[in-house]
């Protein structure tokens, strides 16, 4: 064990420390965190609709919330909240990404957010067209459609309907699908902006001009250069590939990457690295935020939007089985490592005064998935005796949750529930009020309890106050 700890300290800890301090990754992590006011508000709206619209039909035959007074109005209000949050989550992230990246470089952060947003959305298609052939259209209807084609975009012949419009942006370009575009384009454009700002290639105004005006003018040249650089790239890309960059990115990178994330091996690797980082006192989910939020978080937003549009059937058909919230629902009860179970094992079997004192103080925070008291108070950090269960227990819990979801024994996570929600309630709400989810969580807890308990009992023998 000492040899393993020494190896981890020598090779893993320095890498983890560098990752944790890398300013671009820190900015990306903060960008995801910055979107939470909107994404959580949207998630609450979807969750409320799940409770009052989608849950009752499972128990009440003929229930239709869209026809019940008050209920249908609440559903509509929740829809408006969704429209302004999760439906355009990609746009919100694009601004947050540029803002935090510019802040990391010490330049105008507001302008950085605007540049990232503008550059990312510049490549979105603003028009659509289509045709319905081999139909029979009466002469009167043809005349009526064509008379208004200048404003409606519709035109018709005797056997065909045509539609074309400009100024229409598809929502599937603005939601979680937009994250990967914003990560790349927002990064490049904001870096160009930041470098030009740092090189002082700016418009300078007299000191008598108000600071807000001076800052805005100083950002004009760098922002213009960044946006034109991105525009030229979009133009060249469309000429060479004959498809928009956003569409290409989705087809060749985003979807395959999301697909790879659904493999059990990928989920286990992420879980192990979170635990290893935590063992050395480094916040694992924060270090791995680019993966947890950038890949699994995007998958979760996709599930949330599918649920809003078509309920759980849509999620089961086109959604993802393992997403960011799956860890919280089935493995990280009490915090990373499932430490609420360690606390329970200590309270039941430990004879160590130090363990018992820390456990009693950690029960309250642990119920709300806050495990810093037990992580640093027990401690788990750099505690060789607890390293093995801390590593193995969450992997076993993840395996139970993963295969239960994969086999259809429980619904996938389709709601974004705030992480401080107590266990059981969290998994119940996160899966669209699936009663089986708390059962799966309980099974995971029992399995991790069996892993933690022998090590808690073994720890009694190394307490100097108790003797051998």
pLDDT of residue 20: 62
pLDDT of residue 62: 80
Query: Of 1-5, 387-391, 407-411, which one has max mean pLDDT?
Result: 407-411
Please report, rounded to a whole number, the percentage of residues in the chain having pLDDT higher than 90.
Answer: 28
pLDDT of residue 416: 82
**With a threshold of 0.85, does the pTM exceed it?**
no
> What's the chain's Rg over C-alpha atoms?
26
Q: Is the pLDDT of residue 165 over 80?
A: no
Provide mean pLDDT across the span 433-446: 93
Q: Closest by alpha carbon to 244, among 185, 161, 160?
A: 185
Tokens of 416: 């974004």
- pLDDT, greater one: 96 or 278: 96
Which residues are within 8 A (CB) of 194 and not within 5 positions of it... i.e. 6 or more apart? 101, 102, 105, 107, 112, 222
Q: Is the pLDDT of residue 176 over 70?
A: no
Rounded CA-CA distance 252/249 in Å is 5
Lowest pLDDT segment from 12-16, 140-144, 152-156, 193-197: 12-16
Work out the number of other CB atoms within 10 angstroms of the CB of residue 171.
Answer: 15
Rounded CA-CA distance 279/273 in Å is 10
Please report, rounded to a whole number, the percentage of residues in the chain having pLDDT higher than 70.
Answer: 88
Lowest pLDDT segment from 105-119, 320-334, 451-465: 451-465
pLDDT of residue 465: 46
pLDDT band at 190 (very low <50, low <70, confident <90, very high): very high
Lowest pLDDT segment from 11-20, 66-75, 322-331: 11-20
pLDDT band at 4 (very low <50, low <70, confident <90, very high): low
pLDDT band at 355 (very low <50, low <70, confident <90, very high): confident
pLDDT of residue 216: 86
Lowest pLDDT segment from 158-162, 326-330, 437-441: 158-162
pLDDT band at 9 (very low <50, low <70, confident <90, very high): low
């Amino acid at each position: 064990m000492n040899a393993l700890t020494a190896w981890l300290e020598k090779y893993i800890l320095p890498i983890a420390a560098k990752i944790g301090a890398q300013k671009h990754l820190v900015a990306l992590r903060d960008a995801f965190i910055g979107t939470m006011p909107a994404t959580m508000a949207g998630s609450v709206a979807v969750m409320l609709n799940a409770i009052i619209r989608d849950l009752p039909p499972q128990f009440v035959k003929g229930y239709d919330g869209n026809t019940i007074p008050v209920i249908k109005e609440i559903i509509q209000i929740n829809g408006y909240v969704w429209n302004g949050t999760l439906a355009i989550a990609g746009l919100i992230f694009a601004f947050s990404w540029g803002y935090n990246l510019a802040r990391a470089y010490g330049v105008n952060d507001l302008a950085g957010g605007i540049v990232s947003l503008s550059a990312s959305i510049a490549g979105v298609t603003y028009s659509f067209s289509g045709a319905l052939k081999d139909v029979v259209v009466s002469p009167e209807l043809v005349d009526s459609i064509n008379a208004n084609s200048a404003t409606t975009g519709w035109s018709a012949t005797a056997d065909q309907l045509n539609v074309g419009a400009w100024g229409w942006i598809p929502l599937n370009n603005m939601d979680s699908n937009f994250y990967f575009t914003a990560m790349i384009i927002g990064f490049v454009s904001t870096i160009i902006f930041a470098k030009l700002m740092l090189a002082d290639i700016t418009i300078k105004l007299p000191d008598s001009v108000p600071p807000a005006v001076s800052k805005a003018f100083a950002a004009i040249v760098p922002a213009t250069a960044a946006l034109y650089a991105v525009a030229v790239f979009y133009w060249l890309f469309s000429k060479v590939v004959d498809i928009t960059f956003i569409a290409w990115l989705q087809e060749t990178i985003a979807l395959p990457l999301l697909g790879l994330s659904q493999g059990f091996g990928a989920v286990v690797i992420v879980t192990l690295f979170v635990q290893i980082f935590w063992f050395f006192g480094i916040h694992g989910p924060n270090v791995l935020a680019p993966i947890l939020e950038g890949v699994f978080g995007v998958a979760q937003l996709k599930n949330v939007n599918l649920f809003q549009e078509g309920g759980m059937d849509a999620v089961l058909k086109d959604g993802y089985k393992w997403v960011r919230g799956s860890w919280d629902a089935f493995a990280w009860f009490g915090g990373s490592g499932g430490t609420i179970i360690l606390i329970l094992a200590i309270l039941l079997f430990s004879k160590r005064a130090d363990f018992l004192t820390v456990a009693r103080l950690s029960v309250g925070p642990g119920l709300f998935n806050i495990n810093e008291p037990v992580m640093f108070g027990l401690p788990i950090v750099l505690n060789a005796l607890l390293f093995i269960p801390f590593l193995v227990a969450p992997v076993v819990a993840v395996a139970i949750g993963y295969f239960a979801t994969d086999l259809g024994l429980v619904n996938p996570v389709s709601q974004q529930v705030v992480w401080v929600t107590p266990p059981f309630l969290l998994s119940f709400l996160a899966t669209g009020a699936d009663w089986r989810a708390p059962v799966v969580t309980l099974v995971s807890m029992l399995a991790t309890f069996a892993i933690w308990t022998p090590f808690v009992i073994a720890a009694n023998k190394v307490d100097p106050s108790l003797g051998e």
